[in-house]
Structure formats: C-alpha cells, structure tokens
Structure 1
C-alpha cells in the first residue's frame, strides 16, 4: 500500500517537555499512516490552542486548493461542529475552539470526532476521524477534603479500615493512581492490586491504639497520577480513638456482584446482605445503611432497608445512562460507641432492547432531473441506536419498486443513490420510506420519509390528435374569418409544455401561403386572411407546426386540407355569337318552309360555378301583345325550334328573348336576344351561300383546333389506361403489410340528384410514393345510378327523371336524338361512347358538314364538347361534412338526410375528390 507523504506542523503546548513532544509526533505519524488507507485518520491532543495544525485534509483527499471554494467544500460534524475548522486557502484542518476530552467523551477509553467532508459539483462525501488524545490535565480528586474515622482502642492489630479512593477524570496512564500516607507509627496504607480495583483502599492498624496517649490522630493521604507531569490530590484523615465497644459487625463477603436488567419496575429486589456481630445485646444488633460517601444518584435509584439489609429499586435503571453501580454499605451495631462493618455491592446493568434506531436525513440534491444518470447521490442518511451489542446493530431498507437504492458509505452512514432511469411523465414524485431495524428480540424499528421530486426536461414533442384534418369553407368568406382550430398536447410540464403554433411557409402558385391564411401562435386558431374563390382555388393544403418552449425546442406538424366550397356568385355567360354580339344578340335567317319541331338556332351559355350553381335552364320570354310565338326553346338544351308550320301572317322578323338562369340560391340570370328573319326558300339559298363562304374560313380554323384536341384526348386516354393497368398490377402484388401502399379507405360515392352521373370520392388510389401518403386523386363516372333525393338546398330538379340535356351530351346541339327532357340511354355512357365521341369529332373535322338549324354554320369538336360538358355542371353533393358558417343538411352516400351539423363544429368529415375543369 502506497503511503501518502504529508507535511506536519509541530504543536508547542505550554508545559510539555521534550519527551511529550516526541510522543505527540509519533502519534501524528501513526495517524498519517492510517489515513493512507480508506478513511482519513488524524489525532490531536486535547486542550490544544486555537489554530493548532491537525492535518492537510485537502491534499490527503486528493483535492486541488483552487477547487475548494467553487465546489462548496464544507465540513460537518455530528458531535460539535465548531471544534475543528478547515482553512479554504491552504486546505489545512486546524483546531478552532477548546477541546475537552473529558467533556466530549467522559471516561471512555477511545475518543474521536467524526467529520463529514462534503464537496458538491459533483457531489462527493468523505469521512474523517480525528482522535482526541488525552493529556494529564485533571488531578486526582477525593470525595471530600477531610474524612473522620472512629476507631476503638481495642481494635486488634492488622485491622483494616476502608477508605474511599480518589478518582481521576483522565484515562490511560494519566489515570493510574498511586497513594502514600504521611509518616506515622500506628497505621499503614493497604493499596489493592490493579486487578482488584473494586476493593477499596484501607488503613491497617500496625500498632495498638491508646486513647489515653492520643485521642486523635491526623494523617494526610496523597494520590498521585501517572501523567507527565504528575498531578496530586490529598485528603485529611481525622482519626478519633474510641473506647469500650470492641467488636464491629462483619459482612459475609466484602464484595457482592449482582446483574440487574435495565428498566425493572420499582420495588424489585436487588440483593439482601447480612452482617454479624459477636457482641451480645444491643452491641450485637446490626443496622444497615449506605456509606456516608455514597453519591446522590445511587440514593435516588436504590433503597436500603436498615433492618433486613434488602436493597430495592426505587428509580429508573437505564443501561445507556450507566452500565454499573458501585454501592458502599455500612453495618453498625447499637453499642456505644457504635462499631461499623463495611462491604461493597457491584450492580451490573444488563442491556435490554428499549431504544429504537434513530434516522437523520440530510437533503443534498433535490429535485432530481429526470435525465439524471444512475449512481447519482440524492440524499445522505445516518442511523444511530443507543443500545449495545445485537440490540444496537441496525440494518436499513427501502420501500420496494422504486428506482433508488441505499449504499453504505461508513459505519452507520448511507447514501440514497439513483438506481435506474426516471420518467417524470410516468411518476413525478417518489415518497421514499427508509426503514431502520435493529437486531434485538423483539426487533425495534424506525422510518424516515424522503420526498424526491423529479424535475422535468424537454423530452416530449407536442402531438396532434390526428396527422391530418379536412376543412370545408364556403367561398367569399369575410377577411379574417376563423375556419379551424388546431390543438397539440405536450406531456411535459411548465415551459416545456407551452405550445406555440406557426405556419410552414410555402408558395401557393405565385403567392405565399401566409397571404391566404394565418394561425394564432397561442390558441391555434386558423384564419382566412382574404376571401377565398372556389373558381381560383378549390383546395388549399398546408401544414401547421407546433413547437414547445423547451431548450432545445421540440415540435411536430399537422396537415390541413381546406376545400373551398362553391357559392352561386357567377351569373351564366353566353357563348358563341351571343358573346360577341352587342347586348347578347344573335341573328339567324329562317326559311318559312320549316316543319314543326325543326331546330333553327341554339343558345349556348356556361356558368363558372359548379354543381347546382352551374346547372342552367332556358326560358323563352313572352312577346309583347300576348301573340303566341311559333318558336320554343328547350328547357335544358337551349335549342330554339318551331312549334308549328310558319304562316304568311307571321312577322318577317321574329325577336326572341331567352332567359338563361342557373339553379343556385339565389338564382342568377342572363338574357339572350335571338333575331330570326323569315324568308322564302329561294332567298334562303342565297343567304346561305353568303354565309357558307364566311363559315368555310371559320371551319378551316376549327379543323386545325380539332386535330390538336383529338391528339390530346387520345394521349390522355392512353395515360388513363396505363395508370389503371399499373394500379391493378400493384394492387394484386401488394401484401397487407405494404405500409404506405396498403389498401386505402373504403370507396365513398356521392350520387347526384339527377341520377345520371356519379362523382366518386375514392381517394385512396394505390400509387406508391417514397415520401408521404398514397395519392388519392382518382375520379370515376358511372352511368345511371339510382336517383337520389333533393339537394341540400332543397332545390328540386325540373322533374323526377332528370337527365343531362342534349346540349350537355357529346355531339352537336340538335344532332342528337332525344326528347325534350333530355332522356339518355342507360347503356351508352361507357368506353364505346368515349370512342364514338373521338370518331365523331374526327369525322366532323374532316368533312366540315356539321350544320346548325337550317345550315347556319359548321361546328367542330369545340361545339360538340362545349363548356357545358364539364364536371361543374353536375350537382356537387358533399356528405357528412361541416361547412363553417352554413346550416346545410348533412347527407349520406345515398343522399339521405342525417341531421344538422352544429355551428362551429367539424362534424364527420370525409375527404371529397378534387374537382377537375376541362
């Protein structure tokens, strides 16, 4: 074992000689040797002056002097903390105040001061034991300065008279006493050997006494201890020589030994002594009593019966107070003068387990951070039991199922140490119960509770209830309207759980997202900063970020899909010649030879809205004067046809006012003026030839456009077929654990009220992507689904069997077969119809023979598939959605009413397919 090299400073104590200084140096060297192994051990003599060097404690503990102050170096003592002190400048342990060994430890053979050296940052605990060496600073002391003895002159030689010896508060050699008696011719001093210390001193009569020669004899008894230098104590012995009574009582034994359990009840018999006197009569009657030298403590605990000689308990017998009692007794006869006999009772107290352990908890590092590593010291715990032997042996334990353990550091000192990881979100506070139990029978125990608070760290990010929200907002909302509220929860506490919200900025077209919406940083409310336009933006998809206030901050995102719902804010717009004419006027030349039902003109219009708001109807305004016009207009086709054969009485110029209105609420309208010129058959051919010449040039341009349109349609059709094949192949080869390619939600189909078209909301097409969820933009059309009820606006269609009008079918207006109500064959709208549309367009572009009415002009594919043939003319029915600011009725997939959505709520939201405009 390597021995630490230390420097020592000699202590110069006044009154010490050179040999004592050498002895002190040797003791300090031994203390330094023991300090090199485990705990530090020093020694210091008692009564040392203030500032006396004890040891270089910082150097011996391996601490740098510069670390003492920053690391909060401090010394604590269980006994008296002001006796020793450490100089933080040089790390030296020195005497701070007077140390009195006798006051500190009494007559104990060993006396030490236990120090706890505590260093923070990081926490370390050291134990230092400083032994207090005894010096000869207490002289021997007799119970009294003078003692009177009465001795009969008739006492025989070698008679022994017991004396109370002196006591010395020191220990060891300093308490080894020697006695000497002043020179005289009658008495000598009888000193018992060291192993018979219980036997008292005594005077032995060496020469017969003669009261007539000397009635009183004065002697000086001196006690000298073994210290350096020697100290002495004296008592004056006054001996009175008595006459007459010549026999004193004699006890059976000079020393009685008794074992007495502690805590015995009052009245318990300790011992019964017996003394006999050879005299007769009153000179032989014995009375018992305590010696006059007995202490008051013995008198308060024991009672002596003067007649029977019984000693009983009258006080509390406590082993921890005194382990033994020495009781001097006297037996006196009733003669004159009275003669005494002496003996000693040694009462040994037997320990009982009557003291429970005592626990002392010193909190050092609370609260404990939840990211603390195992092994961190949380609290120091010390235990103490006043009993001895097995009754004073203490074991400690903790409450089970807690992440802490007890580690023994020094004798009865323990450290509460973190044993496993902590999680404040699971348990925020631990009530640790420390139980100390001794080894007695029955065992006694004590508990101490330590409340360990777990401090939070930012280890949980804010979480949204779901990763994506779908919101429906009506267009033309007021600026700053509240459209939704996002909310994220953080499992942490205080500032670590303080969540703030922000937009994840991106570009929407040519503009930034922040120009459309904003989010309140504290409440999570999402506001629309400007009116939204369904015709400009149908879907606004963006992310909102939630971040806490911890360091470092943690966050998560949620996706919002804002669908802008259409409102009837666009009036119908006239197309064709009506769009270019002044005031919406169209001129047509009509032959008088037309048969009834012949189509002579067609009014075309489109509405930029969608759904019911874009469903157009045509009405012919009555003419002035109540004259019945020979013409009529198709309710949904816009075709103007004759109702009867034209007569000579009919005006040559017919002015028709056609009112075009949508089915929105409120309805918006547009007015078209159609001027029909009635001519004979010959005049019609002339006019037609002029018109044909101008139309041929227009038709040539339309043919070029149709060619490009046919190419585009074929390319789109091929891409659609390829996508469907790829989709089918992926769906057949996928497994249930395909992650992002897994099957989507069940198909949700909303059927329109007209019963002829359906708009599929199957949004989970199986198209795999490396980043993000599956793409869901797939639309499907199916012919003639069962008819649904009225729309959410309670607006009924024109009749119960409504079909798409002839103007909304493929082909030139007037070239399709069908009745006025627009009945459409149920088995025609399929893939063959799509091919027929493409072939018909190609044929028409090749010959340019498509005619309108009586040959007013040639119309190409643009006329065949005009603006009315779009998805926006199909009534748009959403189901199970909440539209902010609306009291619309929620409908299910079959169009049945489910009730009203509460204002401000989300309802049962379902994703709707994206609307496409062609």
Structure 2
C-alpha cells in the first residue's frame, strides 16, 4: 500500500508541474483517502519561496463541497480535511474533478487548482432485488429469451465492468449483450424444453462480478416457475424505442406509445403493459404508463442539468394461463432548454479604491457559471457603466474587475456598478450582480480663492477689530484634505505710507518697514479679515499683501490671493495756518506788538490811505493734511460782518481792499478770518487779523506834502511804502510772463484737444486705464472726484455703473518756504502760481493715460475757465 502511494505521489507531482506550465495546477487523489492526506505542495508548485505563502496570504476560496479540502497557511500544502467519496461527489461522471480557486493577495492573483478524485473499487455490484420471480410456460421453445435486470455498480471504469455467471443448470444459460450506445442487456436463455411435471420450480443464483482488483461480487436468486398452456408471448413491434423530450415539457405531455401483439386468441391474446424497471430510479414517479394503451405520459418534471437520459423497461403480459410476456426498452433523451440564467458571484472585493490608483488595478474577482450546456451555457459578461472599470477574463468562468481610467473623487465619489451576464440561448437569459465601489480621497487639490485679487475699501479711524472683508478658498477634497486654514503671508509698508508689493516687502530691510500683519489679521478658520489697529489715511493709503490658504492634507497644498486694502480719507485734520511768506529785512521795522503776536495766530499788515480797490494787502496761507475735498480750503471773513473796506478771496486767501481807503475808515481794523473745508463736517482754524495801523506822517507823505523837519522820517516811510508796493510790482511782472505763456499753451492745448477728441471718436477706448505697474485704481464713486493736493494724488477710475462727468481742480496747499531770505523779484504771486499749476495740471491731464476718460465738454469748460482767469490776472 505504501509503494502504491509513493507512485501515486510521483505521478501527482509530474501532473502538477505539467499543469503549472499551462497556467493551471492539477492534482489527483484517490477516493476514501484519510483526512490530512497531503494532496500537493501548492505553494512550491506556484513558485513561492518558503514562508512566502503565509506572508502573501495564500488562501483557498471554498464553495460548497470544496470545504473537504483545506490549505495549510504555514507550509502552503493542500490537505484533505475529510474523506472524499467519488460516488457521492460525481456519481457516474468521469472524470471526477473539483475546481478550486486559490487567492494570493499582496498583490492579488487568482490561481485555479483542479483536484481529480480517482475511483477505487469500493462498491460491490448490487441487484435491484435479492430475489427475482419468473414464470415460464412449459411450452416455451428452446432459445426463448427472458430479460433479467442487471446489477449496478457505483464505481466507474474497470471497477464498474460487470460480468455475470449463473449457477449450473441444464435448462438455462445467460446471454449478455453490450453496446457503446446503450446499457448492457442481460437475458436468461432457455436451452432445453421445460417439463413442469418433472421440475415445477427452478432455483438459480445469478452472480455479478466487477472488474476491480480484487473483484467484488453481488448475487440475486432466480425463482423460475414453470407454467402450463399459453405458449405465445406478446411481441413488441420494436425492441428499443428512442424518444427525445425537451426539459421544459409540461406535465401530461405524451412521451411515447408502445405496442405489443399476441398471436393467441381470447384472454391469451389480451395484452396489458407495465413498467418492469426504470433507470435511474428517480424516473419511477416521473413517467406514467397507461396499462391498456401503452401510452407513456409525463407525470412530473425533467431537468437536463439533473438527469440527461432515462431507460424504461416495459413488459407486455397477456391474460393466458399461464400469462406470457414480452419486453421492450424505451430510451428517453432529455433535450436541453435554456432555462437556467447565468449566476454571478463576487469572490473578492478590494474597496475603497484610492483616487490615484493606477490603471490596471484589480478591484474585484468574480465567478460566472451557467448550468445549461452548449450555446445555452456559453456566458458573455460585461460591466455597466462601461467606464472607468472593465472586465478581464482570467480563467474559464472567472473574471477580474480592473480599473481602466483614472479616478477623480471630486467628480465621482462612489460608483454603483452592475456586472451583467448573458448566455447564448434563444431567447438569452441574463443575470446581474451589483457592486458598490467607493473612492477614497487623496490630497490632489490645492485651495483656490474665488478671486485672484481682492479689493477692500476701509475708512480711516476705524475701530480696532473691525471686520474688513471675508475671504473664502474652496478645496474640493474631503476631511483633512479639504480643511483650509488662512494666514497673512506677505506685504508691508515702508516708512512713508506707500504699500509695498509682496515681492518688495519680502526683501525690504529698511528700519521703517512694517509688515502687513501689524495692521490686519485673518481668522485661520473662517477667513475673516479684520483690522488690528485704527488706520490712518495720512500714514497709509494702500496696503497690498497676500493671504495664504493651506489645507490639512499630507503633504499640504496651498493657494494665494492678493488683497489690496485702500484706506479712504476722512476729514479728521483741521487746517493749519502757515507763517507769512517770509519777511525780508528791507520790509522795514516790525512793531513790537506785531512781533509779540507773530506766534499767536494774529498777523499784521499795513495799507496806505488812498490805496485803490482790489489792492492785495496780505495773503493767508494754510494747509490741510487731508486730501481731496477734505483738503479744499475756503477763506471767509467773519468779522466785521458789515460791509468793510477789506475783503478775502474765497479760495485764494488774499486780503484786498474792497474800496479806496480814506481817513474816515480809521487807523486800525481787526479782521477775523475763518479757514475751513467746503463741506461738513469741516474743522475750521480761525486767523484773526489785526488792521493796518497808519500814522499821520505816513498819510501826509502819501499825499505828497511834508516839511523839512520830518524829511528823514518821511523818507524812511516812503521807502517802506514803496517797498510794500515794489514787491507786488515785481510779482506782477513775473506773473504777466507766465500768463502770456499760459495763454499760448492754452490756445495750443485747445487745438490739440480738438484733434485728440476727433481721434478718440475713432480709436477703441480701454475699459480701465492705469499707469504702468501694478497700481490699482480707485473709482470716483468711492472717494470723490479727481483731485490734486499738496501731498497726495489719486488716479481717476470710471466705473461702468457710476460714472462721474465732473472734473474739479482744487487749489494746492503749498508747504512753507524754506528758511532764509527770498528774493522778492523772483517770488511769484500765489495767484500766479495757482494759474501756473492749473495749466501744468491741465497739460498733464490731457497727455496722461486718463485723458480719454475726461468728457470733452468739461475739457472745454476747463480751458475757458483757465483763459478767463489768465485774462483777469493780466487786467489786474
């Protein structure tokens, strides 16, 4: 027994090696092998190293009866967990093979193992009954044949090849017919006429032996009764009836009709039919034979997948005494019908699938089968929807669900798949299996702001902690990969209040640089931008910085947005009075009380009696730290309210005579002049002016009548008066020169404006005009009309929805002159400077990039206004 097992193992190893080369492992084991028997070294046959089977999780997928085989995780050997009975597993089918599926994970692979269970001679032949009663008429002629039911052997092959022997008898012998198409037929042959009176009953023993080694036998006793008289037995018109029946035939269907005739007359010729044997025995209750007509009807259901053919032994018996019988065989073949839909099983499923999984990744392993045969059992499989997954056939009835396209969880986070199977029958039957494949997130999306640049407007003097804006960045990833935190990244202010761009602020090393984080802060979770301190327009006008959004993925991804914070001016600075425009030494002695009031807001001026109307006697100089409208100053005379001899220019601040001065006006006048902004709320600074005090001697000298005793003092007073008049005279000469130049320039610019206007009618107009560089424009709808002031300038932006057609040029606020004497003959009059700067501003406006945005009517009005001012100045 041991040698036979060693030889069997060697054959198994050779078969396994040959099968592995062909892509399938095949083993063979005899039935009734003890539990624990090693079928084969599967891990070694699969090419795995020692210990690799357990590390890579080699396991056996057991289904149903395959549970009698197990896989050793440590050694990778295929073992029997229980005894195998080939007859129970496969009945008469040959060969008897178990198809096993072996999974090797890390990475996932599928191997198919075929285990053949070989037959051993463990079943003896068995007859349907231990005793068979036969009735044979004594008139039977020698050579008469009587069918016998043969024995059956559950084994197959040589172990099921039966031979029969009959106990010694001079009257009977056996005749065995074998054919490849039908089962063997056994007959008892009468070799010598019977004599009931000599031997009424014959007792014989029929022995069946199989072809195994050693051979097993089975016996049946034959009890033969010899009958008298009726010497013609019924005869069938054919010995074998072949019938085909579809498996979907309904109950009551006529299967076949047999017919037997008897040459005898009377009751000896009346035939009845009966079923003597049915193979397999399950067919006993499936078919119903009419004993009078010989019709066989279907009494149950037939299933091709269960039993493919039936053999029915029918006996026709007459009513003679003794009755005689004839026999025939009905062979019924069940025709396959496509009555079984395909079946789909999910053997293994690896979910969720990472969205960065490579194309070709195996997601699931499926098994597909159909119990039908031929075209009805050929199955076609596919997956719906067709993308991004597909099916690949790995073995007969086995498929792999693989990834064919790249995944994107942000587009589709979960796939509902359906594996569909269809057989080749007509009509085709279908089956499906649903799969849910979730996609796991990978941090592949950086946070993105809704805008690349955010423009934020904030008024100065805001409260600390005031909300400025709310920024939001979207990250389509989930969980930590999509959780965004915000921070102020770059930006700052250098000394003078001009905002530095991020590229400059990052490399700024000067002592006056202040980072943007000292002005603003952003909430890390909500993106709320708020001010850390009150903003001062005079210190900071534009603050440009970057806000960074970073997700919590690994590695983290980030996105940036530029924030341009514009501080809007508030009227929070009162006008400041400037000292007079430098008193030269030759201006004469200053009175003691004038010198004492120089620093208290009280200014002194002198005028001569007889001064004509319109003569400028002084000029109030003031400056406002605000910008725009808030820096536009108005000069108003509050006291005296009644009509006096003096008046103040509304916007120039020049104090001039309203009429000719005479002695009746008095020697001294006190004027209260208020300087303020043109619109509320306006903070005003009062500048009380004390009136000019004129002496009698000075009045006499002004009238050209003086005595010799007062010649010296008159000469000195005359020089003072003359000096007072010479300075305006030199300024007037300089002003005339500038006005002539301005008139020529205005005329030229007027013609040039006409040409530019005609050209602008045909040229395309830009939506927003700006100077070179990353300067952001401030719209007029937010900060007022375009203005020009002493310290700051702003560009004009015309918004689509709120365009302004007005153009206003305000008088500039000049800083105090540098300390030291200034030549009066080179110092232009402030009014002349106003006209000059206005002309220069107009020239810069026309040739600046904002010229197309100024309406042509306003331009003409401005030119006309400037020309009238120039002519008026020349007339003065």
TM-score (norm 1): 0.73
Return the alpha-carbon distance in structure 1 between the equivalents of residues 21 and 418 of structure 2. Answer: 36
Bigger mean CA offset, 77-86 vs 342-351: 77-86
Q: 1:34 — aligned with what?
A: 19
1:677 aligns with 2:664: no
Residue 221 of structure 1, aligned match among 203, 206, 209: 206
1:487 aligns with 2:472: yes
Decide whether the 8 Å contact of 2:71 with 2:79 is kept in 1.
Answer: yes
Q: 1:481 to 1:895 in 2, by over 3 A?
A: farther
Q: CA deviation at 1:790?
A: 8.7
Q: 2:744 — aligned with what?
A: none
1:423 aligns with 2:408: yes
Q: 1:849 — aligned with what?
A: 824
Q: 2:627 — aligned with what?
A: 610
Residue 300 of structure 1, aligned match among 251, 273, 285: 285
Q: 1:92 — aligned with what?
A: 77
Return the alpha-carbon distance in structure 2 between the equivalents of residues 236 and 278 of structure 1. Answer: 32
Q: 1:759 to 1:371 in 2, by over 3 A?
A: farther
1:587 aligns with 2:604: yes
Decide whether the 8 Å contact of 1:463 with 1:490 is kept in 2.
Answer: yes
- Match runs of 1:821-832 below 5 Å: none
1:643 aligns with 2:618: no
Q: CA deviation at 1:746?
A: 13
Q: CA deviation at 1:29?
A: 3.0
Residue 104 of structure 2, aligned match among 119, 125, 128: 119
Return the alpha-carbon distance in structure 2 between the equivalents of residues 780 and 196 of structure 1. Answer: 107
1:252 aligns with 2:233: no
Residue 146 of structure 2, aligned match among 153, 158, 161: 161
Please list the CA deviations of residues 788-809 of structure 1 after superposition, one character each: whole Å capped at 9, or x if unmatched. Answer: 7899xxxxxxxxxx9756x869
Q: 1:393 — aligned with what?
A: 378
Decide whether the 8 Å contact of 2:270 with 2:318 is kept in 1.
Answer: yes
SS of the residue corresponding to residue 480 of structure 2 reads helix
Return the alpha-carbon distance in structure 2 between the equivalents of residues 607 and 20 of structure 1. Answer: 115
Please list the CA deviations of residues 747-793 of structure 1 after superposition, one character each: whole Å capped at 9, or x if unmatched. Answer: 999599999x7679xxxxxxxxxxxxxxxx99599xxxxx97899xx
Q: CA deviation at 1:223?
A: 1.8
Decide whether the 8 Å contact of 1:254 with 1:344 is kept in 2.
Answer: yes
Return the alpha-carbon distance in structure 1 between the equivalents of residues 329 and 66 of structure 2. Answer: 42
1:620 aligns with 2:634: no
Q: 1:219 to 1:689 in 2, by over 3 A?
A: farther
Q: 1:848 to 1:335 in 2, by over 3 A?
A: same
Residue 197 of structure 2, aligned match among 190, 196, 212: 212
SS of the residue corresponding to residue 291 of structure 1 reads strand
SS of the residue corresponding to residue 217 of structure 1 reads strand
Q: 1:628 to 1:335 in 2, by over 3 A?
A: closer
1:543 aligns with 2:546: yes
Q: 1:21 to 1:224 in 2, by over 3 A?
A: farther
1:317 aligns with 2:302: yes
Q: 1:166 to 1:627 in 2, by over 3 A?
A: closer
SS of the residue corresponding to residue 423 of structure 1 reads coil
1:534 aligns with 2:537: yes
Decide whether the 8 Å contact of 2:623 with 2:815 is kept in 1.
Answer: no
Q: CA deviation at 1:524?
A: 1.8
Decide whether the 8 Å contact of 1:578 with 1:585 is kept in 2.
Answer: no
Residue 513 of structure 1, aligned match among 495, 511, 516: 516
Residue 438 of structure 2, aligned match among 444, 450, 453: 453
RMSD: 4.2
Decide whether the 8 Å contact of 1:177 with 1:223 is kept in 2.
Answer: yes
* Larger relative helix fraction: 2
Return the alpha-carbon distance in structure 2 between the equivalents of residues 666 and 45 of structure 1. Answer: 111
Return the alpha-carbon distance in structure 2 between the equivalents of residues 244 and 741 of structure 1. Answer: 137
Return the alpha-carbon distance in structure 1 between the equivalents of residues 661 and 317 of structure 2. Answer: 171
Return the alpha-carbon distance in structure 2 between the equivalents of residues 184 and 342 of structure 1. Answer: 24
Decide whether the 8 Å contact of 1:759 with 1:780 is kept in 2.
Answer: no
- Match runs of 1:56-135 below 5 Å: 56-135=41-120
Q: 1:324 to 1:754 in 2, by over 3 A?
A: closer
Q: 1:402 — aligned with what?
A: 387
Decide whether the 8 Å contact of 2:624 with 2:813 is kept in 1.
Answer: no
1:176 aligns with 2:192: no
Return the alpha-carbon distance in structure 2 between the equivalents of residues 745 and 754 of structure 1. Answer: 18
SS of the residue corresponding to residue 149 of structure 1 reads strand
Q: CA deviation at 1:87?
A: 1.2
Q: 1:226 to 1:339 in 2, by over 3 A?
A: same
Return the alpha-carbon distance in structure 1 between the equivalents of residues 539 and 306 of structure 2. Answer: 99
Return the alpha-carbon distance in structure 2 between the equivalents of residues 294 and 97 of structure 1. Answer: 31
Q: CA deviation at 1:587?
A: 3.0
Decide whether the 8 Å contact of 2:51 with 2:75 is kept in 1.
Answer: no
Q: 1:667 — aligned with what?
A: 682
SS of the residue corresponding to residue 534 of structure 2 reads coil
Please list the CA deviations of residues 221-257 of structure 1 after superposition, one character each: whole Å capped at 9, or x if unmatched. Answer: 2222222332222222222333333332222333222
Residue 364 of structure 2, aligned match among 368, 373, 379: 379
Decide whether the 8 Å contact of 1:589 with 1:684 is kept in 2.
Answer: no
Q: CA deviation at 1:744?
A: 11
Q: CA deviation at 1:690?
A: 9.4
SS of the residue corresponding to residue 82 of structure 1 reads helix
Q: CA deviation at 1:479?
A: 0.8
Q: 1:17 to 1:744 in 2, by over 3 A?
A: closer
Please list the CA deviations of residues 72-95 of structure 1 after superposition, one character each: whole Å capped at 9, or x if unmatched. Answer: 322113443421111111111111
Return the alpha-carbon distance in structure 1 between the equivalents of residues 271 and 551 of structure 2. Answer: 96
Q: CA deviation at 1:339?
A: 2.0
Q: 1:525 — aligned with what?
A: 528
Q: 1:499 — aligned with what?
A: 484
